[in-house]
Amino acid sequence: MKVVLLQMDICKNDAEENRRRAAQAMAKEPGADLYVLPEMFDTGFCPRPGEGALRPHEETLQWMLHLAARHNCALTGSLAVEEEGHYYNRMYFVEPQGTVTGYNKRHLFTYGGEQRHYVAGKERVTVEFRGFRILLQVCYDLRFPVFSRNRGDYDLAVYVASWPASRNEVWKVLLRARAIENQCYVLGVNRVGSDEAGSYSGDSQVVDAYGRVVAGAEPGKVAQVAAELSPDELQKFRRKFPVLEDGDPFSIPF
């Protein structure tokens, strides 16, 4: 499966311009099975969605559906979503035939006050697409390995983020850790540019199950990162070195 990470500079609260930038970036790396966009890629991160110029997310979701059908691919990224007076940081996975899967960010960034304005998700979500079982994760989720622990139910973990440049080394280390401990591919897509909260270095990466960075973006630059993922090679490694079979049983109480 060919994947492309879209490391974007996001224009604050300008969904039309951000969709234009994303479509332009996709055109520079055509023919992918999966395109991955950053966290809240159409508006930039909205710390107080009820007070800002947040537009309804449906227009961007329809845009994702249109491009998925047009290019016979899947698109994923998160949006700020309002439903019945509540806000969610929701990661959508949109498939070419029109299937839409949503995952509400479980771990809200309390250091930045995200929990005061958004409702946390309560379910871990995976989706199957073109030979891969894919775990959907958003930004701060990366710091919580129990929630993402592989129970033999996924092959690829996708993290979309607005991760600050001041903690970029943590980002890079944890992406590799999640890949190693879960014997899976990991895609980490982070934005570049800056907003009122600070600056973002990107450091978007494709990591294999050995913890090797097989493709990465230049820090601080708008970029498209392409890589080929092989489910056969992944299963071969898991059979050769069956770490997951020795994991501890556990459950998450929610």
Which residues are part of the catalytic machinery? Answer: 39, 105, 139
Strands 132-138 and 126-129, sheet pairing: antiparallel
| Nearest CA-CA partner of 2 in 137, 129, 138 | 129
Residues with Cβ < 8 Å from 199, sequence gap 6 or more?
A: 164, 165, 193
